Structure 1
Amino acid sequence: MSANTRWQVAKKMEKTCIAALEEMLAPGASAQELEIWRHCQAIQEQYVQWLTSAERSILPEVDAEALIERQRIWAKLSQEQNQEKMVTDYFWLGRLWQYLAWLERLESLYKQMAAHTIFPLEQIFFKNLAHGQWLLHRRLSALAQQQHNLLWEELGFAPFEKL
C-alpha cells in the first residue's frame, strides 16, 4: 500500500465517522446529547485536518488529549446527571454503542498503521492518533455504562451469568 493510499484510507474512515455522527444529530435528541455529538464531531474533524497535513508530508503535533479535554463538557455532564433523576434512554444508548464501535475500529486502524511504518515520526504520529481515539472511547463508554446500569436497574436485577 502506498503512503498516499494509507492517508487517504484513514481520511475516508474519519469522514465516514463524521457522517455517521451527523446522522446521530437526530430530532428529539436532548441538548446534552447534541453537545456531546458536536464535541465528538469537532474532534473527528481535527483528525481529518491532521491527516491532511500528514498527507502533504508535514506531520503535525498531535495533542489529542488536550483536544478531547479542551471543553469542560465531561464535568458539566456529570454535574447535570447527578442533579437530575436519570432514566434509561434507549436511543441514546444505541447511538453510543454505534459510535463506540467506530472509535474501536479507528483506534485499531491507527495502531496497525503505526506498526506497519518504518519511520519513527510516523509511528509516533499514528500512536498519538490511536491514543486519542482510545481516550474518547473511555469517556463515552462511561456514559454508555451509566445508561446500561439504568437499564438493569429498570429490570430490577443485575446482569449475572447463569451459574
Structure 2
Amino acid sequence: MRRIAKRHSDLLGGNHIEGTSLVAVCDPIRTRADAVAGEFGVAAHYDMDEFLARKDIDAIAVLTLSGQHPAHVIACARASKHVVVEKPMALRLQDADDMIRACDQAGVKMFIVKQNRFNVPVVKAREALDAGRFGKLILGTVRVRWCRDQA
C-alpha cells in the first residue's frame, strides 16, 4: 500500500476525524483493497463505477497516482461525491481546470491536500517571514526530501 493511502485509511478507519468514517475502499488491485478493508471491517471494491454507485458514501479521498487524479476526480463529481484529492491536484493546467469545472457543475466540493503547510518547520518559517526576520526577500528555494524512489 502506498504510504499516503495508509495514512488516510488509518485516520478515517480509526475514527480519528470527527464526523467521518471509512465506509469502503476501492482499488483494482484486489490484495490492496482487501487488506485495507479487512483491517477496518469495511467493504472492498475493485471496480470504480460500482464503488461510486454506493449511496452511503458522501465524499471520496482520491489517493491514486498523480496522473490519474483528473479522471478519478471527474468521475467522483459526476457521481455527486465530494472529493479530497492528494497533491498534486493535476499535472497539467487544463486537467486542473476540467476538475474544477466538473465539481462546480455537479455542485460538489473538492479539497486538495496540502498538509505540509501545518508542519512545524513550515509554520516557523512563515512566522519568521511575516516578522521580517529575513529582510527584503528577493529569492527563496526549498529542498524537500521525501522517501520516494526515482519512479
- Do the structures match in fold with TM over 0.5? no
Normalising by structure 2, we get a TM-score of 0.30
Structure with higher RCO (Cα < 8 A, 6+ apart): 1
Return the structure number with greater strand share: 2
Normalising by structure 1, we get a TM-score of 0.28
